[in-house]
């Protein structure tokens, strides 16, 4: 699910990320489906986790270090440490290496609700 505003040009970066996954993925991965939920009519599982975390944060008068956040969040979700457990990429630069500028694409992103790559 893509939960970003199309006007912020994040969609180009999202497509570059998916293209990289497909290029480096096992041969069993044949397709990536990107869904753009209808604004105001969708509820994603991360929304529920965010709500539970927010409720937990409000029960604490003071949070003194980042590890306390990790402990609280890990009660409701899997915590992945970026940079150590998950490689971090500069997706913006990857997008510019792989794709033409978005204004040169042969289709418009805004009216599209679903993509298959």
Residue recorded with tokens 């790559």: 117
At 75 the three-state DSSP class reads: coil
DSSP-derived secondary structure letter, 61: S
Q: Number of structural domains, the chain?
A: 1
Does some domain include residue 1? no
Identify whether 76 is part of a domain. yes
Residue-wise pLDDT tens digits, 22-77: 777 778 877 777 777 666 656 677 788 888 999 999 998 899 998 999 999 999 99
Instruction: Please indicate, yes or no, if residue 17 is contained in any of the structural domains.
Output: yes
Report yes or no on 48 lying in a domain. Answer: yes
Q: State the greatest distance between any 2 C-alpha atoms of the chain, in Å, as a whole number.
A: 53
Rg (CA), the chain: 18
Does the pTM surpass 0.85? The reply is: no
């Amino acid at each position: 699910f893509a939960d970003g505003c199309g006007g912020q040009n994040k969609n180009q970066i999202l497509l570059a990320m998916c293209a990289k996954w497909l290029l480096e993925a096992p041969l069993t991965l044949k397709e990536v489906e990107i869904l753009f939920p209808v604004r105001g009519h969708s509820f994603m599982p991360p929304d529920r986790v965010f709500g539970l975390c927010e409720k937990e944060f409000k029960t604490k008068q003071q949070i003194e270090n980042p590890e306390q956040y990790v402990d609280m969040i890990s009660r409701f979700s899997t915590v992945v440490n970026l940079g150590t457990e998950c490689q971090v990429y500069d997706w913006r630069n990857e997008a510019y290496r792989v794709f033409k500028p978005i204004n040169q694409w042969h289709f418009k992103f805004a009216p599209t609700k679903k993509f298959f790559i």
